[in-house]
Structure 1
Amino acid sequence: MLHIVFRVAGVTFLVYIAVIAKLGSSLFSFHPVLMTFSFTGAMSEALFIFTKYGVASRSTHRTRVTAHWIMIGLAALCHSVGYAVIYYNKEVNNKPHHTSWHGFLGFIVSILFWIQVSFGFFAKYPLLLRSFLSVIKIRTSHALFGILIFISGIGTMILGLWSSWFVSNASVTGFYGALGLYVVLVFAAIFVLVEKYSKILCRGVQAYFQ
């Protein structure tokens, strides 16, 4: 039941962001909408897909893997366009890049996100790296870093709540509603994903020291 509430809250917040950004009214308006959808939407679903709370929880493992790839691909696409938009917007307006904590952490998360997406290919086809890493190490690393990058991404979104744009356009209710959604989402991700991957992570840690 709670996962349904989270999804409804997430969709509601995405619509709220689109409204206050006046989506389509400017180039910048696409940045908050695309980034919100990328992290709180597509990436969240991609991470939860292998749990009982996932949208394909009753499907076969192969189907869930395919759904995971689709969600991550969608998240990567939206993230890339969203990042390109804000970068180009600053170039056009002759503004410096990555001067705020939101911008700086966002830049770091973007790099790590694409590394993680690339590494996901080897998590799907681990035998390609069998000469260097075992299957358990590859998949453990992918799962662990995926969780950390997701949390870092949400952290970047939280910092964005204090940006001049959001503060000047969002209501007090919108601010605290967004903050509450992100905090709950982080704790839900930690609880559910660690619960799901705890055995895998433990085996992986033991494997590293063998």
Structure 2
Amino acid sequence: MNQAGAGKGAARRRCGGLYLYLRKAAGATAHLSALAISVYVGVLSRLGTSRFSWHPACMSVAVCFCMTEAILTFSKDSSPFFCCTVQAKVRLHWVMQVLATIFGSIGLVFIVSSKNISESPHLTSWHSILGIGTAIAVGGQLLCGLCLLFPQLINTYSVARLRLYHATCGLLAYLMAMATVMLGLCSDWFTSQVNTVVWYLCIITLLIPALVIMNQVNSGYLSKKKIEV
């Protein structure tokens, strides 16, 4: 019985070690995917050739890189800032989200300007409609994050619940942003420049960080807090 118990314990440790390794590998892949898709879309945009060229480049940096890295800052498995304090991670999260807002705003200004010059109608695709909804959601998240960064703005009793809502709605806003980018990959501009294989690779590259972040937020925060609501 002792040998059997020891064998089961060793098996559990091996499974636990393998699971931890897979989580770390998935996190590292999420970082690489976020960087790769941002660089690829930026190169494909041929910056400076037109006003429109700034839109996909800025949006990919804002969503795929800045927003992804902002959330992965809190990852226990793959954060490059694992040695930092929680307060430092919060500041880094805010910096990346502010950068995402700046790049996203620039991208929005250029697409509006491009359509005005070409006299093209606005909000005629699901990509643009979801994009506007995402911009509104991100704006709400920034206000929510501001209240958490300066809790004196709200009463102490509301902080814990607001943190839960911020994590939940933040995940939703991020998934909306990634869905907007995916719809952008379905546009004539993108599909005319890549073949089918590359298109599917880009979709997979977007799905990897989205799935990693979904697991991170759910297992690291929501599953522990939902009982308290």
Aligned-partner Cα distance in 2 for 1:94–1:74:
30
The answer as to whether partners of 2:47 and 2:53 remain within 8 angstroms in 1 is: yes
Bigger mean CA deviation after superposition, 104-113 or 120-129: 120-129
- Structure 2 residue 104 is the aligned partner of structure 1 residue 85: no
Give the secondary-structure state (helix, strand or coil) at the position aligned to 2:192.
helix
Q: What amino acid is the match of 1:103?
A: S
What is residue 65 of structure 1 aligned with on the other side? 90
Q: Distance in 2 between matches of 1:116 and 1:99?
A: 26
Aligned mate of 1:18, from 42, 46, 52: 42
In 1, distance between residues paired with 2:221 and 2:213? 11
From 142, 164, 169, give the equivalent of 1:117. 142
Aligned with residue 190 of structure 1, among 214, 221, 226? 214
Moved more, 60-69 or 2-11: 2-11
Task: Quickly say closer, same or farther: Cα 1:71–1:33, change in 2 above 3 A.
Answer: same
Overall identity of the aligned pairs, in %: 28
Is 1:127 paired with 2:182? no
Letter aligned with residue 99 of structure 1: T
Q: Which residue of 1 aligns with 2:200?
A: 176
Match for residue 21 of structure 2? none
CA apart distance, 1:203 = 4.3
1:158 partner amino acid: M
C-alpha distance in 2, partners of 1:180/1:142?
A: 27
Could you list the per-position Cα deviations for residues 83-133 of structure 1 after superposition, in whole angstroms to 9, with x for gaps in the alignment?
1111111111111111100011001111111111122100112231218x6
**1:13-64 CA distance string (max 9 Å, x none):** 2222122211221111111111111111010111111121222122111110
What's the RMSD between the two structures over aligned residues? 1.6
CA distance in 1, matches of 2:133, 2:164: 22
Contact 2:73-2:93 within 8 A present in 1 as well: yes
**Who is 1:95 aligned against?**
120
Q: List per-residue Cα deviations over 1:177-208 (Å, max 9, x = no partner).
A: 11111222221111111111124531442xxx
What residue is the counterpart of 1:163 in the other structure?
187
TM-score using structure 2 length:
0.84
- On the 8 A contact 2:37/2:206 being kept in 1, the answer is no
Do the aligned residues in 1 keep the contact of 2:66 with 2:96 (CA within 8 Å)? yes
> Residue 26 of structure 2 corresponds to which residue in structure 1?
2
Q: Could you list the per-position Cα deviations for residues 144-183 of structure 1 after superposition, in whole angstroms to 9, with x for gaps in the alignment? A: 1101100111111111111111111223232111111122
Q: Of the two, which has the highest radius of gyration?
A: 2
Structure 1, unpaired ranges of 5+: 206-210
Unaligned 5+ residue runs, structure 2? 1-24
- TM normalised by structure 1 equals 0.91
Amino acid paired to 2:149: K
Q: Which amino acid aligns with 2:182?
A: I
Give the letter aligned to residue 90 of structure 2: V
